[in-house]
Amino acid sequence: MNNLRYIDLFAGAGGLSEGFIREGFVPVTHLEMGKDACDTLRTRLSYHHLRQTKNLNPYYSYLKKEISRNELWDMIPREIIQSVLHEEITSQTIGNIFQQIDERLDSKNVKLIIGGPPCQAYSLIGRSRDPNRMNGDKRNYLFRFYGEFLSRYKPQYFVFENVLGLLSAGTQMYLNEMIQLFESIGYTTTLQVLNAEEYGVLQRRRRVIIIGRRGKNKFPFPKIETIENNWQIEKDLFSDLPKLKPGEELNIAEYTKPINDYQRQTGIRNGIDFITQHIARPHNERDLEIYSIAINKWLNGKNRLRYDELPKRLQTHNNTHAFLDRFKVINPEGHSHTVVAHIAKDGHYYIYPDLNQVRSISVREAARIQSFPDSYFFEGGRTAAFKQIGNAVPPLMASALAKTIYKLLNGE
């Protein structure tokens, strides 16, 4: 097991880590600055511990609100709960962070570091919305702290994940500095863009993955096993979920259909016999009318709604020449477009594809699109859950990565 110990930096809600835990890796520390995401990590680590001890009843009792979160965490070894560090990495805090991690390492080697800094600084959308195009944003250089962790713990490999915009941000200035930094620390790197769809995720989501190996010998990006993905959102992913009205909250609900092949093969339904967090945000009458128009256009011709096509009485933005796809319906017969953290602010870009359920997608539906299993619980309420889900790495893609890293660590 010592060969599979890892640190997760900028861990978020744990999507990347979930894939590595599934493949037998053991987290030493999750480091994350968001309180809600840290609570989600602690709750998920509680799940994994109870699953290993073959006693998930306390976890299910917590989801059903029969016991409190603190009562759940009190049943878990203290070192597991405390392994999640709620810290922002800065030049002032990094020394204390190192000390806390060192106390947990107990002289055992870390073989792997995973994670990627917040993506807003590299994101194409983030740059387009920021008047300064993210220039001067301190998040541009968080990778330098990543390098300090590599210098201190000297893992055999690292996995760095980020958005496609990393390839163009600063005319590749940040990417080039990043690679040079990793090389100066003693790591050879290889890079590839991965598409989550190729690993069973029902979402068009491409991400830059940098794999680093300690030493000077160059190596090709390793082959990652893909799977055929002809499944569909409506038929395979959403078909067993209860119908929802705008603003309706089903914190606990029963499945409406038996498990199907996709849900079984991917572990979306993984033993839990009820649904949590099937929560829809409320909408005003104007938005519901726009959603209905958008759904009609998509279901009757697969056409997207353009903002400038709306009746004038429904247009509230003066700009009718840019961002014309403000309202977007999930494709029921294919895969979703990319889920991003903006879903926490409104649901206009993620409209449910059914005129009998005119609303945006629920927390559980968003989690499923990201390939989180139904047993995964997001702390902090609806808005916090959406943000965590939108920022996450899909666990199915992470699992495929973890299988490959496992083989590399074992010389395969």
The 3-class secondary structure across the chain, one letter per residue, is: CHHHEEEEECCCCCHHHHHHHHCCCEEEEEEECCHHHHHHHHHHHHHHHHHHCCCCHHHHHHHCCCCCHHHHHHCCCHHHHHCEEECCCCCCCHHHHHHHHHHHHCCCCCCEEEECCCHHHCCHHHHHHCCCCCCCCHHHHCHHHHHHHHHHHCCCEEEEEEEHHHHCHHHHHHHHHHHHHHHHHCEEEEEEEEEHHHHCCCECCEEEEEEEEECCCCCCCCCCCCCCCCCCHHHHHCCCCCCCCCCCEEEEECCCCCCCHHHHHHCCCCCCCCEEEEECCCCCHHHHHHHHHHHHHHHCCCCCCCHHHCCHHHCCCCCCCCCCCCCCECCCCCCECCCCHHHHCCCCCCECCCCCCCCECCHHHHHHHCCCCCCCCCCCCHHHHHHHHHHCCCHHHHHHHHHHHHHHHCCC
d(CA 59, CA 48) in angstroms, rounded, equals 10
C-beta separation of 202 from 336 below 8 A: yes
Whether residue 38 lies in the annotated active site: no
- Distance CA(326)–CA(124), nearest Å, equals 16
Of the candidates 391, 322, 371, 321, the one whose C-alpha atom is nearest the C-alpha of residue 163 is 391
**What are the backbone angles phi and psi of residue 159, rounded to the nearest 5°?**
-125, 115
Tokens 């602010």, residue?
Answer: 345
Candidates 38, 119, 330, 363; catalytic one: 119
206 and 196 Cβ atoms separated by less than 8 Å = yes
State which amino acid sits at residue 20.
F
Q: Which residue is it, tokens 């949590």?
A: 276
Active site residues: 119
